[in-house]
Each structure stands twice: as structure tokens, then as C-alpha cells.
Amino acid sequence: MDSNLQPDERERLQAQTTELATIAGGLAHEIRNPLSTIRMNLELLAEDLDAEASPNSRRMIDRVAKLQKECLNMEDVLNDFLQFAKAGEPDLVECSLNDEVQEFLKFLTPQAEGRGVELRPLLDANLPIARLDPGLIKQVLRNLARNALQAMPDGGTLELLTMMRGGKIALEVIDSGEGMDEKTVTRMFQAFFSTRSGGSGLGLPTVRRIIEAHGGTIACDSAPGRGTRFTILLPVNQRAH
């Protein structure tokens, strides 16, 4: 959300965004119910066709399998959409960003090692307490790490750094991957924009929505062949001082 907006205008836009997210979340739930019914009936149909064991049933099974795959793709999009809708409503508690990063690294390490990616955390031991939603912050880390690993198909390094910067708590996520061109960087936070086939285009918009809901900002610096750096700035919890 534009920091140059007046407080009343910012509150009005925030209220509109929250209402839209609520409507979108309800719509996603309404779609999920009949989609689950379709999936269940496709499974039953596949079982019936498999029992026939005829050439015609084989062709029909292949068609049913394609429909099942499309249903799974739709469920993935719905899940991403629901995460986007919930991202603007954090449940804030006093906690350490370092603790959240360290816990996330335990989850990420096996996956990174399997892809030949070296994790390099550098966390400021004197980082002050912040007011965060731990679940949503981990979602931010998951989305950024997932993009980073996809950008390093032949391995590389992924750095996670915390520090103080300009009175804010800073988190940097830096990969040595393929990088992105200026056009992609400009559009990457737009909903449904994706450079990957099959991607929902909601991962990075969800990240930005979560960070802004925490009163923070996120920026990206990237170029083809020189990796990508995401910089997140979060407010310090003044009540903890």
C-alpha cells in the first residue's frame, strides 16, 4: 500500500481490501466443495472403467486421468487463493524473527541439500523483539525459499540475514540463482502474474500482502545471471523496550 497516502485514505483502502479478501475466500470455499465431489466421482468412474479392461475403457481412463489432474491443479490454485485472502489478517504476538528463521531452516535443510543448495544464515544476535504472526512469517519464508530453489536448478547458495537498518528489523533472502529481468521484477508482486507454467501467480503477492499487514515493506533487487535479493523491513515492537 502506498506510504504517501493520507491515513484516512489508507484505512479506506485497507477496509476495501479486507472486504474483497473475505468475499474471495468465501468464493474459494464454495468452489472447493463441488470440486471435491467431482474428484470423488472421477475416482469411482476410473475404478469402474478399470474393471472392464477393454480398449475403449482404457481410452476413457486416460481421459478421466486428465480430468483428475486438472482438478488437482484447480485445488492448488484455490489453496493459494485462500492463503492470499487470509494474508491480510495476521494474529500478532511478541516473538523473535531469528527464532522463526531458525525453525524454518530446520524444515528447509533436507530439501536444500537434495537440490545442492547451501544454506547460509547470518542472524543478528541483538535483534529486538517484533510483533509477528509466526505462521504467516513462515509462509513468507516458504514462498521466498521455494522461488529461490527453483531459480537454482544446478545448486547454489541461499543466504538468510537479519539485522537492524534505519530503526527497522531487516530480513534479507539472497540466492545465487538465475535472476530476473527488469520486466519480471516490475510485475512480480501483481496477482496472477507468473513466469512458470502451472504457477498460480499468487506466491509473491501473498508475501507482500503479509509483510504490509505487519506494517512492513518488501523490495527486490535482481538481474539475469546475478541472483536475487529480497529485503524485508519490519517495525520494532516498541512495547517490548
Choice between 49 and 118, residue whose per-residue pLDDT is larger: 118
User: Contact, 101 vs 140, CB < 8 A?
Assistant: no
Average pLDDT over residues 205-222: 92
pLDDT digits (tens, 9 = 90+) for 156-202: 999 999 999 999 999 999 999 999 999 989 988 887 777 666 566 78
Q: How confident is the model at residue 43 (pLDDT cuts 50, 70, 90)?
A: confident
Query: Residue 79: CB partners within 8 Å, gap ≥ 6?
Result: none
Q: How many C-beta neighbours within 10 Å does residue 168 have?
A: 17
pLDDT digits (tens, 9 = 90+) for 13-26: 566 666 766 777 77
pLDDT digits (tens, 9 = 90+) for 107-133: 999 999 999 999 999 999 999 999 999
Pairing of strands 93-95, 130-132: antiparallel
Three-state DSSP string of the chain: CCCCCCHHHHHHHHHHHHHHHHHHHHHHHHHHHHHHHHHHHHHHHHHHHHHHCCHHHHHHHHHHHHHHHHHHHHHHHHHHHHHHHHCCCCCCEEECHHHHHHHHHHHHHHHHHHCCEEEEEEECCCCCCEEECHHHHHHHHHHHHHHHHHCCCCCEEEEEEEEEECCEEEEEEEECCCCCCHHHHHHCCCCCCCCCCCCCCCHHHHHHHHHHHCCCEEEEEECCCCCEEEEEEECCCHHHC
- Return d(Cα 180, Cα 189) in angstroms, integer: 13
User: Contact, 88 vs 209, CB < 8 A?
Assistant: yes
> Which structural domains are found in the chain, ordered by start?
7-86 (1.10.287), 93-240 (3.30.565.10)
Q: How confident is the model at residue 241 (pLDDT cuts 50, 70, 90)?
A: very low
Choice between 10 and 58, residue whose per-residue pLDDT is larger: 58
The single-letter code of the amino acid at 221 is D
pTM over 0.85: no
Q: What is the dihedral of CA 111, 132, 192, 195, to 10 degrees?
A: -40
Confidence at residue 4, expressed as pLDDT on a 0 to 100 scale: 46
Pairing of strands 217-222, 228-234: antiparallel
pLDDT digits (tens, 9 = 90+) for 62-84: 888 888 888 887 777 777 777 77
